[in-house]
Chain A
Amino acid sequence: MSLSRRGFLAWMGAAGITALGSQAGATPRHFKGYPQSLCVLHDITLCIGCRSCETGCNKVNELPPPAVPFSDLSVLDKKRRTTAKTYTVVNKYLDSGQEKKPIFFKTQCNHCLEPACASACFVRAFTKTKEGSVTYDASVCVGCRYCMIACPFEIPTYEYDEPLTPRIMKCTFCHPRVTKGLLPGCVEACPTEALSFGKREDMLKLARERINKYPGRYVDHIYGEHEMGGTNWLYLSGVPFRNLGMREDLGTTPAPELTSGALATVPMVAALWPVLLTGIYALSKRKEKLLSGDKQNALAQALAEANAKSQAALTAAMEKAKREKEEAVQKAVKTALEQSAKKTQEQ
């Protein structure tokens, strides 16, 4: 079936309008979290840098014993990050005042409401559970490490020294414990209750109450309330968060929304490209045909002209021959007549 030019353009127009329409209607809706999902509020002003949380996490998750014991606080002098053997680390920051009071804070997976790792994983190895924890399923993980690229907080780690069974390692929010009503290992271990645990709505309320009650003590911002669309781990601090190395430039767009636009064009391309390419093919074929048609016409014309020319030449030649023949005949007759006349004269 051949597609007429008009038909082709009509299809393109319709497709274009549909595409535009779908774009305008697609307002991104942000996931506000499962109701009653659990959350931790980390009050950085209460942290004393004792590393009990690291000890608790290590014990509860049966992680390998650390190279340097948890009681050694000199490790805090260097900036640390999570590793394949530590789900959480405590870091130290020296306040820029005259007293140089040290500030301690804990870093671990923030269990985002719309996790970048879950969005990025092409085998859905991450799940945002209704308890709020983002859990990892090592039984399907291929080890592509795209989740590590995606996480804006640079949390997931990888067992690079495992040749055949490497896993992504990150805080699990003690999901098995939490579903049983127990506290996460770090929360239970913290002596000063710098980690408060409860429903996310309650932790937000608690954070706001603390800021209201002691305005001089806190920066008026709950980190994690909106960052990257919101997280299930909230932070309160007495100094600007960026001083602690917590990025304040991440924005409030949840990570999945960053790629959903690009992914949305896939069905568009799949639907439109066949039509577009077939159309171009049809156009190019038509051009070819026209070109070859033109060629044939030109050929035929040339042939006809040549024919006509040769015909004319033939006719002319024949005429000439005829004339010459007649002339020759006449000449011969004349000669004959002259000869006979001469002969008669002689007799």
Chain B
Amino acid sequence: MEEVKSTLRWTAMLCTAVGLVIFALSAEGYKAPEQKAEKDRADIILIDTSPVFGRGDKPPVAFPHDRHTEIMAEQKKDCFLCHLKESKPQAVSAGPAPQPESTERMSLKFKRLKDTNLKEVRKIYHDNCIGCHMSMAEKGQEFGPIICGECHKEGAEYRSARKPSGMDNSLHFRHTKAAQNKCETCHHAYDDKAKKLFYAKGQEGTCRYCHQMKTEENRISMPLASHMSCVECHRLGKEKKLEAGPVTCSGCHDSKEQMKIKKIEPLPRMERQQPDTVFVKTLGKDEKAETPRMNPVPFDHKSHEGYNDTCRVCHHASLSACNSCHALGKPLKDGNFVKLDRAMHQAGSQTSCIGCHQLKQQAKECAGCHVFMPKGLMEQSDSCLKCHMKPLPDSAAFPKTAEGEKELAKKLLQSRQPVKGTYPQGDIPENVIMKDYADQYEPAEFPHRKVVSSLVEKMNGAKKTSQLAAYFHNDLGTVCQGCHHYSPESQKPPKCANCHGRPFDEGNLMKPGIIGAYHQQCMGCHAAMEIKKPKECVECHKEKKK
């Protein structure tokens, strides 16, 4: 009996142990509810020593910078509570005129000027961060984490909502005004031989032409450069109690704050000696051909400046002509091996001509018709000729000077005949009665003329796309083709019912029946143009009373 007792006892202990293991396993599977408050932040800096010193034994720390600057401001302290001063390299001036002789600037590192070794850097962080938190705790104030795991969290406590920041032409104009048109305040170039920065007048471009996203050997990264220049200047400005830009992370990187940035309208043109009209050549810069195979494209540079927020939308790598990097024949390394054809015509790309035009078609005013049209290059040649204009009948040989080119381009551009609108009102049917749902609904009355004129009004009123529309809609009947599709331009285009009949035609799978055609076309256009009314079925066709 003694043995029996011990067996049972042993079994009981085993059961308890197993029960605890099962409980523990299932408890581990349970996830704590996510902290809801303040999870999306624009100011998260990841304190991660692994890129410099290799992988540590604790996860990197997500540091909310703005929260600390808030507390710092409450305590009437400034940035130098955490950041040290470092000597400024020559020539680059940061800050408005009042402090040209300043040889120091704020270091972006925390309480150090250099990353020495892991042990020292770790000590700097631990001593200062935890030290400050402890002192605040002693004063009875709200304090930050003290225990290892509270900073070095395994899972993500925050979610970075940082939006990239940058300058558009409007913001640039505000800066040039503040700097009193002294471009050298911010713009510099690098002399490779002298290994020095200097100001190159007439060569100013966006910082991003040199400063990439990662620090290279001799060139700091764009984030570093922008914080050193922009934020530092703003900080100095605020010191001097001048009107200056943001110094907090969220001030530039939070999407809501970004929307608060004042936009200048109307925006004066940037002064960078850029041409008004120019030819987009159809040969690479150093390529030779007897005659260019495609007609060069006359390009209204001045108008296009107004269609985009920045220059770098098109001038994505430099402010020179496209063909200086993109060759027609053998692709060049400078152009990232992108040939001239793709650079000009790639659908879906913002930097190519065709791509940008197609993106503009997604605007509300255009989408109603354009949402139905397939993307990509047209096969017909007459659409090519809209850009690659045929030479004027009375023109001589292609000019040899730059000035001559500009003149010819201007002439060609002026010879264009944009079409703003469509046929005269009287020629457009006023109402169209659609009788096809006769058994269930009353005929639908479509205010055809009103809709057409409203469409044309919206088209012509759109600031950035009206010229585009006017030029490419080269016939009075082009606009009609938005609905009267798959037919040539005509003053009397076919009726819907001429082509759309019974549904599910085996020979024409993509063509809907008449009912489907009406609903897909009408409702599709309304959805694309974000037209709220009509919404209910009976707003278009009343129910038939039985």
List residues of A whose CB falls within 8 A of some B CB. 46, 48, 50, 183, 190-193, 196-199, 202, 205-206, 209-210, 213-216
Count of residues in B whose CB is under 8 Å from the partner chain:
17
Residues of B within 8 A of A190 (CB): 516
Contact with A along B521-544 (1 / 0, CB 8 A): 001000000000000010000000
B510 touches A206 (CB 8 A): yes
A198 touches B523 (CB 8 A): no
B516 touches A191 (CB 8 A): yes
B502 (CB) vs chain A CBs: closest residue:
A183
Residues of A within 8 A of B537 (CB): 50, 191
* Contact flag A197-B520 (CB < 8 Å), given A206-B509, A209-B509: no
A193 touches B510 (CB 8 A): no
B515 touches A210 (CB 8 A): no
CA distance A252 to B520 in the complex (A): 33
CA distance A190 to B515 in the complex (A): 9
Residues of B within 8 A of A198 (CB): 504, 506, 509
| B504, B509, B537: residue with the most chain A Cβ atoms closer than 10 Å | B504
CA distance A193 to B520 in the complex (A): 8
B506 touches A202 (CB 8 A): yes
Set B375, B510, B512, B523: member contacting A209, Cβ < 8 A: B510
CA distance A164 to B509 in the complex (A): 47
Minimum CB–CB distance for A231 against chain B, Å: 19
**12 additional A-B residue pairs with CB within 8 Å, beyond A191-B516, A192-B523:** A48-B523, A50-B537, A191-B515, A192-B516, A192-B519, A192-B520, A193-B503, A193-B512, A193-B513, A198-B509, A210-B510, A216-B375
Please name the 8 residue pairs, one residue from A and one from B, whose CB atoms are nearest each other, closest first: A193-B516, A192-B519, A206-B509, A193-B512, A191-B519, A213-B374, A197-B504, A198-B504
B374 touches A214 (CB 8 A): yes
A193 touches B523 (CB 8 A): no
CA distance A210 to B374 in the complex (A): 10
Minimum CB–CB distance for A268 against chain B, Å: 38
List residues of B whose CB falls within 8 A of some A CB. 374-375, 437, 503-504, 506, 509-510, 512-513, 515-517, 519-520, 523, 537
Residues of A within 8 A of B509 (CB): 196, 198, 202, 205-206, 209
CA distance A181 to B122 in the complex (A): 79
Residues of A within 8 A of B375 (CB): 215-216
CA distance A215 to B537 in the complex (A): 29
CA distance A46 to B524 in the complex (A): 8
B515 touches A193 (CB 8 A): yes
Some 24 contacts from A to B, beta carbons below 8 A apart, are A48-B519, A50-B537, A183-B504, A191-B519, A191-B537, A192-B516, A192-B519, A193-B516, A193-B517, A193-B519, A193-B520, A196-B503, A196-B504, A197-B504, A198-B506, A198-B509, A202-B509, A206-B509, A206-B510, A210-B510, A213-B374, A214-B374, A215-B375, A216-B375
Residues of A within 8 A of B437 (CB): 191
| B375, B516, B517: residue with the most chain A Cβ atoms closer than 10 Å | B516
| B513, B517, B519: residue with the most chain A Cβ atoms closer than 10 Å | B519
Residues of B within 8 A of A210 (CB): 510
Residues of B within 8 A of A197 (CB): 503-504
Minimum CB–CB distance for B529 against chain A, Å: 14
Residues of B within 8 A of A193 (CB): 503, 512-513, 515-517, 519-520
CA distance A45 to B503 in the complex (A): 18
B441 (CB) vs chain A CBs: closest residue:
A191
CA distance A96 to B516 in the complex (A): 28
CA distance A206 to B516 in the complex (A): 15
B437 (CB) vs chain A CBs: closest residue:
A191
B518 (CB) vs chain A CBs: closest residue:
A191
CA distance A183 to B537 in the complex (A): 23
Residues of A within 8 A of B504 (CB): 183, 196-198
CA distance A62 to B512 in the complex (A): 28
CA distance A183 to B510 in the complex (A): 18
B516 (CB) vs chain A CBs: closest residue:
A193
Minimum CB–CB distance for B400 against chain A, Å: 45
Residues of A within 8 A of B510 (CB): 206, 209-210, 213
CA distance A206 to B520 in the complex (A): 16
A50 (CB) vs chain B CBs: closest residue:
B537
Minimum CB–CB distance for A188 against chain B, Å: 9
B514 (CB) vs chain A CBs: closest residue:
A193
CA distance A192 to B512 in the complex (A): 9
CA distance A205 to B508 in the complex (A): 11
Minimum CB–CB distance for B159 against chain A, Å: 16
CA distance A192 to B519 in the complex (A): 5
CA distance A190 to B537 in the complex (A): 12
Residues of A within 8 A of B503 (CB): 193, 196-197
Residues of B within 8 A of A48 (CB): 519, 523
Minimum CB–CB distance for B281 against chain A, Å: 32
Minimum CB–CB distance for A270 against chain B, Å: 41
Minimum CB–CB distance for A173 against chain B, Å: 15
CA distance A206 to B507 in the complex (A): 11
Minimum CB–CB distance for A99 against chain B, Å: 9
Minimum CB–CB distance for A46 against chain B, Å: 6
CA distance A183 to B517 in the complex (A): 18
Minimum CB–CB distance for A185 against chain B, Å: 14
A40 (CB) vs chain B CBs: closest residue:
B504
Residues of B within 8 A of A46 (CB): 520
CA distance A215 to B520 in the complex (A): 18
CA distance A215 to B374 in the complex (A): 9
Residues of B within 8 A of A199 (CB): 506
Minimum CB–CB distance for B453 against chain A, Å: 27
Minimum CB–CB distance for A174 against chain B, Å: 14
Residues of A within 8 A of B517 (CB): 193
Residues of A within 8 A of B374 (CB): 213-214
Residues of B within 8 A of A214 (CB): 374
Minimum CB–CB distance for A60 against chain B, Å: 14
B527 (CB) vs chain A CBs: closest residue:
A101
CA distance A48 to B534 in the complex (A): 13
Minimum CB–CB distance for A44 against chain B, Å: 14
B505 (CB) vs chain A CBs: closest residue:
A198
CA distance A216 to B528 in the complex (A): 14
Minimum CB–CB distance for B58 against chain A, Å: 35
Residues of B within 8 A of A213 (CB): 374, 510
